[in-house]
Every structure is written in C-alpha cells, then in structure tokens.
Amino acid sequence: MDVKPITRMLSVAGGGSRMSAEIESILGVDWDVPKKEYPPKVVLLPTGGRMVVREARMEELPKLIKAVAPLISVERDFYDIVAARLCGELLALYRHRARNEFCLVGIVNGKLAGVSNNRAFDAKTHISLHTIALKRGARVGTHMFAAKQENSMETLEAEEILVTAESPIGFRRLISQWCEPRPGIQHELNGAKTWVITREKYQKVKPQQVFGSRPVPDELMKSSETFEIAPLDWLPKE
C-alpha cells in the first residue's frame, strides 16, 4: 500500500472536517464487486403465513439492530452469540466498515420474522455470515438461510460460499442439509470450522431447500416496505 497519501494527509495542519473526510475515504469500504439487488419473493410458511423476503435498505439497519439486540442476552440455542455478531455486522454495514455485505429481511404480516446476511470476499467466493429467526416454529430461519445463499449464487453469481455454524440447530437444519466439509480453512468468523456450498451442491440442494414465488403481489409488497419489531413471544416470561 502506498502510504504517502496518508502521511501527507496527517501533516495537514488544522485540516478539520476535510481531514476527517479524507481519512473516511481511506477507512470506509463498500461494494467492490458488481452489486445487484435481490429480487423480492414470497414464501409460504408451514404454519400458513406468507413471508416476504427482500433486501434490507441502509436506512432500516438501525431498526434491525434494535430488533436483534435484545437477543444478545438470550443464551438459549446460541441466540446470544449470533445476535451479538449480527448486530456488529449490521452496524459495520451501516457505518461503511463492511465490504460487500448484504442483508435480507423476512416480514410476516408487517412484522420482522427473520434476518440473514452474507458477504462477498470477492466475486467468486462468498462468506455465509448469520441467520436468525425472530419468529420461531415456522421454518423462518431455514428459509432465510436459503434465500441468502440463493442471492449469493443466483443474483450475485458466486461460485462457492464458505459456511460455519454456531449452534446445534444451525448445524442440523442448515449445514447438514446444504454443505460439504472444507477442512484446513479457518472461517472468517473467528477461525471456526468451515463447510462449503459449491455451485454444484447448490443446484442439487435447491429443489428441496429454496422456495418462494415472484413477483410479490403489489399489495403484499407494499405492506412489507417497512416492518414492526415483533414481540419475542417464545421467550419464557421473567
């Protein structure tokens, strides 16, 4: 890396906001591979509801963090670590400290039901980050995981996705259905074990895992443009 522009910039006396804008132009990261928006879809849940899955907009990230943050104190099923990491990733995306990250939201009856995110390491290799179900017992998380892999493979045309899991439910429902082991590689998430979804594996798994129809009917799309934060009714009352 050429450090000359940095040293020149740091020597600017009284640079004030110009200097911080210049530093921001060094620290900030964004998309550096072709970015296309995920085409929204509607998924029929086994419980009967319809979930709209669409890409989260930048301006709704603070609200998403607010929805996920209470789960940081829930040890059950590893919600705590997944919520903490997801909040960090969403904040990084919002503050331009995450490269090539996208986030999908699942909305049922105007309420936030699930969130998932991935990141493109480069155009060929994507990193599977997190999936969280705020509504439980409806396979929301399974569909949100499928949707982000669909986005990586089909919209963004990745060739492989590196995956890991924090929780036994995640391992059972997601890794074991989708992935092949990739030994000898440390995952971006603190060096955890790595599995991979190759393009070939994706095509094999797709008929059993990737569901939903397009386009989303206008009325349903309109009612899913924003979301309310759903009560976490599956948590035991204190």
Ligand X SMILES: CC(C)(COP(=O)(O)OP(=O)(O)OC[C@H]1O[C@@H](n2cnc3c(N)ncnc32)[C@H](O)[C@@H]1OP(=O)(O)O)[C@@H](O)C(=O)NCCC(=O)NCCS
For 207, the token pair is 């008929």
Smallest gap from residue 219 Cβ to ligand X (A): 25
Identify the burial level of 207 via C-beta atoms within 10 angstroms of its C-beta, where 0-12 means exposed, 13-18 middle and 19 or more buried. Answer: exposed
Number of residues counted as binding ligand X (CB under 6 A): 21
Question: What residues between 99 and 138 interact with ligand X by CB under 6 A?
Answer: 131-133, 136-137
Q: Can residue 40 be called a binding residue for ligand X (CB under 6 A)?
A: no
Helical H segments across 104-193, by residue range: 140-150, 168-170, 176-178
Q: Can residue 79 be called a binding residue for ligand X (CB under 6 A)?
A: yes
In the set 166, 178, 187, 211, which binds ligand X (CB under 6 A)? 166
Smallest gap from residue 2 Cβ to ligand X (A): 40
Cα-flanking dihedrals φ and ψ of residue 223, to 5°?
A: -75, -5
Cα-flanking dihedrals φ and ψ of residue 161, to 5°?
A: -130, 125
Burial code (b: 16+ CB inside 10 Å, e: under 16) for 9-39 equals eeeeeeeeeeeeebeeeeeeeeeeeeeeebb
In the set 85, 126, 139, 201, which binds ligand X (CB under 6 A)? 139
Smallest gap from residue 130 Cβ to ligand X (A): 6
C-alpha closest to that of 125 among 151, 157, 148, 102: 157
In the set 119, 170, 210, 211, which binds ligand X (CB under 6 A)? 170
Smallest gap from residue 71 Cβ to ligand X (A): 8
Nearer to ligand X, 29 or 205 (CB): 205
Nearer to ligand X, 22 or 80 (CB): 80
**Contact stretch for ligand X (CB under 6 A) within 47-55, 100-108, 163-171, 206-214:** 163-171
**Contact stretch for ligand X (CB under 6 A) within 18-26, 165-173, 191-199, 206-214:** 165-173
Residue 201's Cα: distance from chain center in Å? 21
Smallest gap from residue 216 Cβ to ligand X (A): 20
Q: Can residue 43 be called a binding residue for ligand X (CB under 6 A)?
A: no
Q: How would DSSP label each residue in 45-100? A: -TTS-EEEEEEPPGGGHHHHHHHHGGGGG--GGGHHHHHHHHHHHHHHHHTT-SSS
C-alpha closest to that of 181 among 169, 164, 166, 167: 164
In the set 28, 66, 215, 234, which binds ligand X (CB under 6 A)? 234
Can you give the binding site for ligand X, defined by CB under 6 A? 77-79, 82, 131-133, 136-137, 139-142, 165-167, 169-170, 173-174, 234
